Structure 1
Amino acid sequence: MARRLRAGQHPAPEPIRATSMWRVDQIFLARHGQRIEVICSLVNDQGGLRNLNIVAPTSDPVKAVRHAARHVAGKGNVYGARQARLRWAREQLVTEQDELIRDRDLEDEFLDEFEETLAAVRDQMR
């Protein structure tokens, strides 16, 4: 039996379960002092949506993206990141036009590291 929610309450988010396979859909970067936060938006086949936030211990965007890719691919239930779009978060933008600009070089860095880590995880499981 489902619990009734009071006005203003939101249902608790479902955990990211191993029984549900996810893929990376979008990636957002935001600077926080000497670190970069990488927010990975994950989707699954049932229409679920989750965000994973990873704060990389670096101010270098390439290293931050690679750090996040290793973390996400190592979870074991994220199967892909192809066609994931990468943008800087809204707070980092100078103009509204910046919101539309994708960083394809960083997308490639993320995908390369994700695929390498995923292959290593699969090799360990064999």
Structure 2
Amino acid sequence: MWRVDQVFLARRGQRIEVICSLVSEHGGLRNLSVTAPTDDPTQAVRHAAHFIAGKGNVSSARQARVRWARQQVVTEQDELIRDRLLEDEFLDEFEETLAAVRDQQR
């Protein structure tokens, strides 16, 4: 199973690309990206969380960090800033979708 480790946001015109960095139980790494049909960061992370949790092989998003991608930051300090409100939005949507997927599998 995989877990979400980090989430990066990048503006792509009128949309936001969300890249989720996943880590497996065996130390594997992979990225999944989805372009949200919105320019609102909150809606974009919720869209991405729904997509990732719906895949069925990602078990957790606890402690996932949400940041803007390097090309979106103005200073080096910006790279270190986590968006805790977006982290909460991502986790809430992820948990809701994961619960719905598990209910359907029963």
User: Under TM normalisation by the shorter chain, which class is it?
Assistant: over 0.9
The residue number in structure 1 matching 2:74 is 94
- 1:25 to partner: Cα distance: 0.2
The normalised TM-score by structure 2 is 0.99
The residue number in structure 2 matching 1:10 is none
Counterpart of 2:42, as a letter, is V
Which residue among 51, 54, 57 is the counterpart of 2:34? Answer: 54
Higher normalized strand content (fraction of residues): 2
Residue 49 (structure 2) pairs with residue 69 (structure 1): yes
In structure 2, list runs of 5 or more residues that go unmatched. Answer: none
- 1:45 to partner: Cα distance: 1.0
Structure 1 stretches of 4+ with a deviation exceeding 3 A read: none
The residue number in structure 2 matching 1:4 is none
**Hey, what's the Cα distance between the residues in 1 that align with 2:103 and 2:25?**
25
Residue 98 (structure 2) pairs with residue 118 (structure 1): yes
Deviations along 1:92-117, one digit per CA (max 9) or x if unpaired, are 10000000000000000000000000
Higher normalized helix content (fraction of residues): 2
Relative contact order: is structure 1 or structure 2 higher (C-alpha 8 Å, sep ≥ 6)? 2
In structure 1, list runs of 5 or more residues that go unmatched. Answer: 1-20
* Matched residue SS, 1:62: helix
Question: How many residues are aligned here?
Answer: 106
**Hey, what's the Cα distance between the residues in 2 that align with 1:45 and 1:69?**
20
The normalised TM-score by structure 1 is 0.84
What percent of counterpart residues are identical? 80
**Hey, what's the Cα distance between the residues in 2 that align with 1:86 and 1:40?**
9
